[in-house]
Structure 1
């Protein structure tokens, strides 16, 4: 799927998502302050680039994620943050990236508002994982994560409560939580 087809994602009239979408009994406090973050949903040769976070990290060790992180004071916007983080984490040169646009934010249970930045990669990209943060860089066929039939709803106990979430396992990779929810949102936008 090329950039023109991916641009259809911005035509859909769906709003923001959250880790609480499948848990209607959760009441979020009004006025809560969320930390701003951005991730790069990069597509190259019909595949979405993902990372497996280092098992040595304090937060979300070993989990599957998009390249990305907090928006720093020096970042002009979410796009700049996503590009900076992708360069730091996987060695992605910004000049290979064609930004297609930003999708609605996703709220996480850990208090972040994450802006997914959809991008198409030009040319050959050879990832170089930053060993302190990224254990592995891999890709998943876009066609796989755009098929809603590949997603399932699972549940875990979190802070003493059962919490439901999306998962879209692929081979040895267990893609779940915010990453799966963002992918599911993209699938919902691009599936007729």
Structure 2
């Protein structure tokens, strides 16, 4: 996390939120009556929650996955992926994947901090790595993997009131999950849950302001 906080830093609410205690989240947070096996094996992953300057303030960079992919086609996601043997950990994996998926160079990123890990129904334990993009950034979507790179205002995803619960069938039962739609982009599932965790921590400013 940055050593000092500039008084007019547009990401000050995010940095203050990172300094507060947080707790792990999961795709099962809203489910009732599900007991997860204690011996389950989870694979480590990291995603980059990258903030850039926008016309109306900070924005979060997101991707729309290619509709041709076998897993999660067309879904909204952060740049990121599983920790490979050559990675030093989730932060390294998030930076590597961001470079591969959207063309964001490591030297254009300032790490702000990490949030508690999020467990997915697909067996990953994902570390959200929050970062500031330094300077102008022109995305280069990875061919075949990323259909689109876009940005959503922090004022949207950083507001808990923007989130609602929806349901769909999963393994024969209705599964509840968080959504935070923005224009044509249906932000849901693990991506929405990790963003909501940040929004909830940011909201403590208003609670204690």
Q: Which residue of 2 aligns with 1:56?
A: 68
In the alignment, does 2:197 pair up with 1:185? Answer: yes
In the alignment, does 2:1 pair up with 1:31? Answer: no
Tell me the SS of whatever aligns to 2:69: coil
Report which of the two structures shows the higher radius of gyration computed on alpha carbons.
2
Report if aligned partners of 2:25, 2:117 keep a CA contact under 8 Å in 1: yes
Please point out which of 20, 31, 51 is paired with 1:12. 20
Which ranges of structure 2 fall in alignment gaps of 5 or more residues? 1-8, 205-209
Aligned equivalents of 2:60 and 2:73: distance in 1? 21
CA RMSD, 1 decimal = 1.0
In the alignment, does 2:55 pair up with 1:47? Answer: no
Aligned equivalents of 1:31 and 1:9: distance in 2? 32
Tell me the SS of whatever aligns to 2:138: coil
In the alignment, does 2:95 pair up with 1:83? Answer: yes
The farther-off stretch of 153-162 and 6-15 is 6-15
In the alignment, does 2:124 pair up with 1:116? Answer: no
In the alignment, does 2:164 pair up with 1:172? Answer: no
Report if aligned partners of 1:41, 1:118 keep a CA contact under 8 Å in 2: yes
Q: Which residue of 2 aligns with 1:137?
A: 149
CA deviations on 1:91-146 (whole Å, 9 max, x unpaired) are: 00111100011110000011100000000111000000002110000000001011
Report if aligned partners of 2:80, 2:98 keep a CA contact under 8 Å in 1: yes
Aligned equivalents of 1:112 and 1:143: distance in 2? 28
TM-score, length basis structure 1: 0.97
The number of residues matched between the two structures is 192
Distance apart, 1:31 and its partner CA: 1.4
CA deviations on 1:9-54 (whole Å, 9 max, x unpaired) are: 2222221000000013111011111011110000001000000000
TM-score, length basis structure 2: 0.90
Q: Which residue of 2 aligns with 1:125?
A: 137
Tell me the SS of whatever aligns to 2:196: helix
Report if aligned partners of 1:2, 1:120 keep a CA contact under 8 Å in 2: no
Which ranges of structure 1 fall in alignment gaps of 5 or more residues? none
Aligned equivalents of 2:45 and 2:90: distance in 1? 7
